[in-house]
Amino acid sequence: MKLSRCFTALAAAAALTTAFTVQAREYSVSTVLSDAFPWGQAATKWAELVKERSEGRITLRVYDNAQLVAGDQTKEFSAMRSGLIDMAVGSTINWSPQVPELNLFSLPFLMADNADIDAITQGEAGQMVFKAIEKRGVVPLAWGENGFRELSNSKQPIRTPNDLKGMKIRVVGSPLFQDTFSTLGANPTQMSWADAKPALTTGAVDGQENPLSVFDVSRIDQVDQKYLTLWHYMADPLIFAVSPNVWKGFSAEDQALLKQAAYDAGRWEIESSRAAEAQRLASIRSRGVEVTELSADERQAFIDATAPLYQKWEKRIGVELLKAARNAAAAQ
């Protein structure tokens, strides 16, 4: 009798283990940068929160360096939409070829500071952007942040648009980036980040633009980038998102868990990244980089020079979306 009860207990335990194994699932999360950077840390934090709150039923495995799309970060959105990638913490820049509305954040000098970013992403404009992403077949959950992009080069301090004349600047694969730097008289050169560092080393390109976190962690000063201009010309919000087929497979409770974890991971990453900016800048200066901070009048000259781009791009981005974003920033 005791032996029978023992076998019954073992069978019940085995059944419970089997049920748990069937329910537990691992999902891929694509990101471009590793957790040495705030971007990768956002994805890692999301994975940690989901595992903890689901008690291990849901595991998110982070694949950095865009390895799930063979390093081509502009294909990340399409891969998630088709189900080749389950989830991603992605860049508005990289997803803009598939979601034109995301070019909003690449418009030069739309946002002056963090308050403007928050007002746009957390208000009506942010809701409109999320609806545009949903319309293109991906489920957006929350915002993160890659920071304002600053300009560095190997030639000279840059204080005016004239200082950029003829300078070869590495840019990401975005037509709006090409337009911005061409308008300023530079020679924009599109290339992946893997190709950019060798090109900076050899002098094939003179400069690049990236957030301070990328400049600092990647030690861009080591590839002859001796001059850094803080011009805050655009910011790159990150987006936590899920493939629609994967999303439909979750219960309502797990959908809520994933969304809240994404929101919490995003807020954590934004706050920690912003808090580290002063230390990053001090570290960059300590390595001998000459940092130029533009005066209000100097920055205005760049704003005036790039103003014609708004007329060209507002229809592609959406007149009402741009209006909502401008109103949000103006209200600060």
**Residue 19, in any domain of the structure:** no
What is the crossing angle of helices 124-135 and 114-121, to 10°?
60
Residue 250 lies in domain: 26-330
Instruction: Give the mean model confidence (pLDDT) for residues 34-50.
Output: 97
97-136 pLDDT, tens digit each: 999 999 999 999 999 999 999 999 999 999 999 999 999 9
CA-to-CA distance for 96 and 211, rounded, in angstroms? 18
Contact 217, 36 (CB under 8 A): yes
Instruction: Give the mean model confidence (pLDDT) for residues 40-46.
Output: 98
**Residue 117, in any domain of the structure:** yes
Query: And the tokens for 206?
Result: 């003179």
3-state secondary structure of 171: strand
245-284 pLDDT, tens digit each: 999 999 999 999 999 999 999 999 999 999 999 999 999 9
Q: Percent of the chain beyond pLDDT 90?
A: 88
Query: And the tokens for 238?
Result: 């990150």
Residue 11 has what pLDDT? 45
Residue 249 half-sphere exposure, CB side, CA atoms within 13 Å? 13
Contact 47, 29 (CB under 8 A): yes
Contact 313, 113 (CB under 8 A): no
Closest to 184 (Cα-Cα) out of 301, 266, 294: 301
**Residue 215, in any domain of the structure:** yes
Residue 7 has what pLDDT? 41
CA-to-CA distance for 30 and 90, rounded, in angstroms? 8
**Residue 3, in any domain of the structure:** no
**Residue 209, in any domain of the structure:** yes
**Residue 87, in any domain of the structure:** yes
**Residue 224, in any domain of the structure:** yes
Q: Output the CA torsion 7→9→15→19 (10° steps).
A: -160
| Residue recorded with tokens 């070869």 | 168
Number of domains in the chain: 1
Q: What angle do CA 222, 223, 229 make, to 5 degrees?
A: 90
pLDDT at 204 over 60: yes
Model confidence band, residue 60 (pLDDT cutoffs 50, 70, 90): very high
CA-to-CA distance for 160 and 35, rounded, in angstroms? 35
pLDDT at 144 over 70: yes
**Residue 7, in any domain of the structure:** no
For the domain that residue 313 is a member of, what is the CATH number?
A: 3.40.190.170
